[in-house]
Amino acid sequence: MKKFNFRKVLDGLTAASPVGSSGGGSGSGAGGSVHPGGTAGAAGTPREEIQETLTSDHFQICKTVRHGFPYLPTALAFDPVQKILAIGTRTGAIRILGRPGVDCYCQHESGAAVLQLQFLINEGALVSACADDALHLWNLRQKRPAILHSLKFNRERITYCHLPFQSKWLYVGTERGNTHIVNIESFILSGYVIMWNKAIELSTKTHPGPVVHLSDSPRDEGKLLIGYENGTIVFWDLRSKRADLRAYYDEAIHSVAWHHEGKQFMCSHSDGSLTLWNLKSPNRPFQTTIPHGKVQRDGKKPESCKPILKVEYKTCKNSEPFVIFSGGLSYDKPCRRPSLTIMHGKAITVLEMDHPIVDFLTLCETPYPNEFQEPYAVVVLLEKDLIVVDLTQSNFPIFENPYPIDIHESPVTCTEYFADCPPDLIPVLYSVGAKHKKQGYSNKEWPISGGAWNLGAQTYPEIIITGHADGSVKFWDASAITLQMLYKLKTSKVFEKQKVGEGKATAEIVEEDPFAVQMMYWCPESRIFCVAGVSAYVIVYRFSKHEVNTEIASLEVRLQCEVEDIITPEPETNPPFPDASSQLPSLKSLSGSTNTVACEGTMKDSIPCLSVKARPVRMPPGYQADLVIQLVWVDGEPPQQITSLAVNSAYGLVAFGNCNGLAVVDFMQKTVLLSMGTLDLYGSSDPYQRQPRSPRKSRQFAADNFCMRGLSNFYPDLTKRIRTSYQSLTELSDSPVSLELERCKSPTSENRENSFSRSRSSSVSSIDRDSKEAITALYFMESFARKNDSAVSSCLWVGTGLGMVIILSLNLPASDDSRQSEPVMVSPSGTVLTLKGAVLTFACLDCMGTLTHQPYEVWRDPHSADDGDKARKRKLVMHSPSSSQDMGDHQFAVICSEKQAKVFSLPSQTCLYVHNITETSFLLRADVVTLCNSVCLACFCANGHIMTLSLPSLRPLLDINYLPVTDMRIARTFCFTNEGQALYLSSPTEIQRLTYSQEMCDNLQDMLGDLFTPVETPEAQNRGFLKGLFGGSGQAFDREELFGEATAGKASRSLAQHIPGSGGIEGVRGAAGGVIGDLTRARIALDERGQKLGELDERTASMMASAEAFSKHAHEVMLKYKDKKWYQF
């Protein structure tokens, strides 16, 4: 339908409409604000009064912090002086961790996997080697690290790097077996190369394989130990450029470790053996052990074991050395878990891990390799965890991890984010959660304690709630860009455990993870918490500080169109809509499940998917189940998953809907008030004729039926299949294809091609196809239910997948005393509003444009010891705009669908503003949020755009193509909150937080932790006169003289390419603005200019040299043939 924009001159509405109809096309499609005029007076007046304070200058998007465990880790490094840890990943990310609060995320632009990380110890820098054969130098002396230099190898593949302590020359081993040397300061390759064919003996006929180890001798840094994959070890003298000794072993080498005196070294091998070598007798190892191999009776060599992937050999002054290794377990125990073995003297301790070991590092007291190492802890990086083992205690306890790296303990299925919530909640939740702390941790301080962090200026409390696949819910303190777990709730505890083998016989609709949390609704003020689970149930929780032993109340709801199917514990309750049964002759056919599952045995009917515990249950302090509501099977068809959920503590009601209809439950009286098909909700206001269909006409799986939202497919590592009546958008999960390419299908309405236009002028046939009208949004509020109402009343706003908004009136008992006994009446108001696309969110503004808080009951402990009348009295807050006590004579209703936003004036129901947000895509999330003491509508679109619109006028304030939805996980977990904050799950294990507030972007530098703090490098121990005289080399080793250009010459230009980084510029952005910033920029520009001039100079010199060579050659030719006759040529 053609867009139109008309203004009634008499309304005088143009004065308050600075944005014209053009409205600025949002990048997500041809957008625009349309302002149909309303009636003069009530609708016109507020538009002139409301002064909107938000402008586009208030908005800017940037990522703030990433929490959780680094996804797919590959590498580990530790700075023993700064005491910070770095973890590299397969996706090219680096996470740098220090004391709690110091947590930094950076990303290689190439996205290549990180092979190895090396700190420049106590220098505030880090070298990363990536799978695309590039080396990068990161500057850690700024809050957001950035790359200073990169060096890309063109002809060789990097396999191993080594940077000696306090050296500026990095040794780089390659797949071809060569060793190159890089100057860390300039990131230029030295001309000094150790070629594989020079390192091995000339008589050797085979290639030794890639370099798997490089290290300088602790005794003499002029000697380099090179380990090749096939078992060859070369001790190379860097000064004389020849091999001092060579050793051979018939098993592949995985790692090498020195004894601190530099006379011995240990190798780990592919047959599970450890060999100890002495430099004086390199012909064979003087000790060979297979620690986990079975000793053969006839004295033969112990049988081979799995490869020992890494070994560390650490000495102690007052005890036996530690030999620590990963792998090496016997092959005859296939079910053994991945293990770390600690050998200390004759004692062997095997620490079994829950996940495969990626890497480990031993933390030692000294950074000097030639001193007693004195190990005190081992950091073990697992595929899905990070643990630190205390070596100072004989039972090797682990340290309690202060980082939030267990977000993914069970896969995250949904998230909610609350900024600026009541300040008493965090201590209260922590106090009930702290009681569940585990025992048995090391009593020492967490050893990764580097960096500095302070609270910064931002002080409001923030809480993140995550719902998980195992039914657990975690509450996190997210204040001041940190994350700390407060409290964990297990929702599965209300149900009986399913016995193994019962799955097929019961009414379960989900084979695995039947308790997975699908939706959450939390009222921070009343502390009412509600979850909807994947098995079509809703649990209402109340918060109590007291333990209680009680039975769990439960209700069953038969959700479909037949009015007579309402189930409630009190049979005398009348059907709420007495006239509804006469409206359509065969309503049942319009509400049954579209997709059915073949059932074994008899047809299931009126049974829930799970069974609630019937016996009294002990509930610890915290959230305690008040009521469980379950949808039941109907005529052999499983209940459809819940698509919307809302609770109101002041009304005492919970409402939830799915693609069959809506249920409203009174959780105070524990009764079902309404259980009705979507079509019945219209009452006599249904705007079109619908064709009745024969029952169960369609039994096939529709590709984009969103009745149930899938879980397993968001997590590729889970091999779950959810056997139900939905297929959701799961085909898109983890595919690199964006949602846009898979046809613009919305998750909430089935037929995108037939999505209704603004006038809803669609054919009957498309209505017939879309007759499964899901309930997609619910909102309780004090509002004008009908046109020309003079006062607000309690309402439930219902939004559907076809863009319809139905207002239901709630008739609550007048007095608090009668609330427990008199029934609550729910009836249709007759009001139906329309939008284009599935409705996502509602909000209400008062006549001054201030966001109206939903009514709520002030929290009181339901199990308080004080049972006096005063304590039991409910304290309700019905209106909470700060501007005035009463709502005024009108209000604004803000409604956003996946295609457009509308603002209606109530009670006149005039549409004041329309903004068509997107034509070619659809919104995944929309929230009305507060920012800078004002209010706006924040939207996240499937094409990656993040947008904000002013309220009430819906002026576009921000539109940035920021986050491509390459993964359904992002679509499912993205949420906005107040104060310009948002979050989403960036990987199965990590939460990414971002801000769309300019003020927070400006203050972010103050909030982030410092990775580098000035620390004195510890002094080397005095080695004593005799040791200095006889132990080690007599002369100091000057690497500069050996590897510098003057001696070694230049490396081949085609071997590696130097790429200047943007680190300096990033540092400027982080620094203060003004003159300092300008000066720094100027200096960097000069440096870059100087660098370019230097390159030009080099090129000129090279051209001159080649010209000179050519001239000389030409002269020689001329002299040679000068006196020859033509016949002598």
H helix or E strand, kind and range, residue 1082: helix 1074-1121
Percent of the chain with pLDDT over 70: 74
Report the C-alpha gap between 727 and 11 in whole angstroms: 50
Host H or E run for residue 26: none
For the segment 920-945, the average pLDDT, to the nearest whole number, is 94
**Three-class HEC string of 272-328:** CCEEEEECCECCCCCEEECCCCCCCCCCCCCCCECCEEEEEEECCCCCCCEEEEEEC
* pLDDT for the residue numbered 32: 53
Task: Convert the pLDDT of each residue in 993-1018 to its tens digit.
Answer: 999 999 999 888 888 889 999 999 99
- Per-residue pLDDT, averaged over 32-52, amounts to 49
Long-range contacts of 276-283 (CB under 8 A, 24+ apart): 277/233, 277/247, 279/235, 279/245, 282/233, 282/235, 282/245, 282/246, 282/247, 283/247
In the numeric block, the tokens 């609330």 are attached to 819
355 and 338 Cβ atoms separated by less than 8 Å: yes
Can you give the pLDDT at residue 87?
A: 97
Please provide residue 600's backbone torsions phi and psi, each rounded to the nearest 5 degrees. Answer: -85, 145
CA–centroid distance for 308 within its chain: 33
Look up tokens 């003087």; give the residue: 286
750: closest CA among 701, 688, 792? 701
CB 1068 within 8 A of CB 1080: yes
Q: Mean per-residue pLDDT for 708-717?
A: 36
CA dihedral of residues 637, 640, 641, 647 (deg, nearest 10): -130
Q: Which of 96-105, 746-755, 1074-1083 has the lowest mean pLDDT?
A: 746-755
Determine which helix (DSSP H) or strand (DSSP E) holds 828, and give its type and residue range.
strand 825-834
Contact between residue 12 and residue 48 where contact means Cβ atoms under 8 Å apart: yes
Per-residue pLDDT tens over the stretch 444-499:
999 999 999 877 666 789 999 999 999 999 999 998 888 999 999 999 999 998 76
Residues paired with residue 334 on neighbouring β-strands, in sequence order: none
Query: Residue 809's closest CA among 642, 674, 649?
Result: 674
Q: What is the pLDDT of residue 273?
A: 93
User: What is the CB neighbour count within 10 angstroms for residue 871?
Assistant: 11
- What's the whole-number mean pLDDT along residues 729-739? 37
Spell out the residues 6+ positions from residue 1082 whose beta carbon is closer than 8 angstroms to its own.
none
Q: Give the model confidence (pLDDT) of 1027-1052 as tens digits.
A: 444 454 444 667 777 777 766 667 77
Whether 1001 and 97 have beta carbons less than 8 Å apart is answered as: no
Handedness of CA 421, 427, 431, 434 (dihedral sign): positive
Asked if 309 contacts 253 with a C-beta cutoff of 8 angstroms, the reply is: no
pLDDT at 1: 42
Q: Which residues contact 558 (CB under 8 A, 6 or more apart)?
A: 565, 566, 567, 606, 631, 632, 634, 675
Query: Mean pLDDT, to the nearest integer, of 951-957?
Result: 93
* CA-wise closest residue to 908 among 745, 1070, 789, 1080: 789
Q: Is the pLDDT of residue 8 over 60?
A: no
Q: At what angle do helices 1063-1070 and 1074-1121 cross, to 10 degrees?
A: 170
In whole numbers, what is the pLDDT of the chain averaged over residues? 79
In b/e form, how buried is each residue of 86-104, taking b as 16+ CB within 10 angstroms? bbbbbbbbbbbbbbbbbbb
Indicate if the alpha-carbon torsion angle 774, 777, 780, 785 is positive or negative. negative
Confidence band of 695 (pLDDT split at 50, 70, 90): very low
pLDDT tens for 966-980 read 888 999 999 999 999
Secondary structure class of 457 (helix, strand, coil):
coil
CA–CA gap between residue 1088 and residue 1082 (Å, rounded):
10
Q: CB–CB of 75/88 below 8 Å?
A: yes
Q: How far is CA 337 from CA 328, 361, 577, in A?
A: 12, 20, 61
Give the model confidence (pLDDT) of 175-194 as tens digits.
Answer: 999 999 999 988 889 889 99
Strands (E) across 632-695 are located at 644-648, 653-657, 661-666, 671-677
Distance between CA atoms of residues 655 and 667, nearest Å? 10
Q: How large is the average pLDDT for residues 610-636?
A: 92
- The per-residue pLDDT for range 1060-1088, each reduced to its tens digit, is 887 654 444 433 333 444 554 555 555 55
pLDDT grade, residue 1020 (50/70/90)? confident
Give the C-alpha separation, 64 to 386, whole Å: 23
- Say how many CA atoms lie within 13 Å of 703 toward its Cβ: 8
* CA–CA distance, 450 with 823 (Å, rounded to integer): 61
pLDDT tier for residue 25 given thresholds of 50, 70 and 90: very low
Contacts of 462 (CB under 8 A, 6+ apart): 417, 418, 419, 420, 421, 477, 478, 479, 977, 981
CA gap 314, 146 in Å, rounded: 34
Higher-pLDDT residue of 265 and 203 is 265
pTM to 2 decimal places: 0.81
**833 close to 896: Cβ distance less than 8 angstroms:** no
H/E element holding 1081?
Answer: helix 1074-1121
How many whole angstroms separate alpha carbon 799 and alpha carbon 832? 10
What local confidence, expressed as pLDDT, does residue 226 receive? Answer: 94
Place 1128 in a pLDDT band, splitting at 50, 70 and 90. Answer: low
Taking the C-alpha atoms of residue 487 and residue 479, their distance in angstroms, rounded to an integer, is 15
pLDDT of residue 1084: 54
Look at residue 563 in the predicted model and tell me its pLDDT.
38
Average pLDDT over residues 677-693: 66
- Listed in sequence order, the residues at least 6 apart from 929 whose beta carbon sits closer than 8 Å to its beta carbon are 935, 936, 937, 938, 976, 977, 978, 979, 980
pLDDT digits (tens, 9 = 90+) for 225-281: 999 999 999 999 998 889 888 999 989 999 999 999 999 999 999 999 999 999 888
In tens, the pLDDT along 109-145 reads 999 999 999 999 999 999 999 999 999 999 999 989 9
